[in-house]
Amino acid sequence: MPPDSVQAAKSACIRLLARREHSRYELRQKLAAKGYPHPAIDLAIDELSRDGLQSDSRFTESYVRSRLQKGYGINRIRQELSQRGIKEIPRDAYQPDDLGDRTEIIEKVYTKKYGGRLPKSREELASRARFMQRRGFTLEQIHALFKRLRQADEPEQDNLL
C-alpha cells in the first residue's frame, strides 16, 4: 500500500477531528465513503489513536455530555452511541456532575414540552410517558417525575396517576 494513501487518509481524519470528536467507526465510515482504501484508513486511525488525536473514550464523554445537555436520557444516548460504534459507555461518563442532577434534566424536558402540568387523562399520561421514553428516560425516572409532579399538585389528582 502506498504511504501517500495512508498520509492522505490521515490528513482527511485530522480535518474531520478538527471540527469535532469522532469515533473510530465514524471515521472509517466517512473515509470509506470518500474512496480511501480500508487498510490505509485503519493504519491512519491507528496512528492518530497512538498520538492521542483520536480517542473513543474522549468521543464518548463529549457525546454523552452534549446529549445530556440537550435533554436526552441515557437509554437514547446508549442507542445513538451504539450506532456510532461505541458498545460500552463507562459509568462515569453519565454520572451526575456539573450538569446537575438527572432529575433536573427530566423535569426541564417535561416542563419545556408540557409546562409542568399534570395530564388530565390516562391517555394523556400514556402519551407523555411515551414521549419521555423516546427521549431516552427510563420508566423509573418517568414514574418518579410524575410522582413529584403529583405531590406538588393538588391531592385530588392522586387517583388519576
Domain ranges of the chain: 3-54, 57-94, 102-159
Smallest Cα–Cα separation from 94: which of 110, 79, 75?
75
Whole-structure pTM value: 0.76
Contact between 48 and 14 (Cβ < 8 Å): yes
Instruction: Tell me: pLDDT of 90 over 80.
Output: no
Cα 112 versus chain centre, distance: 19
Residue 99: per-residue pLDDT? 45
pLDDT score for 3: 62
Share of the chain above pLDDT 70, in %: 85
Domain range 3-54, its CATH number among 1.10.274.10, 1.10.10.10, 4.10.910.10, 3.10.20.740: 1.10.10.10
Contacts of 50-54 spanning 24+ positions with Cβ under 8 A = 53/13, 53/14, 53/17, 54/13, 54/17, 54/22, 54/24, 54/27
Q: Grade residue 98 by pLDDT with cuts at 50, 70 and 90.
A: very low
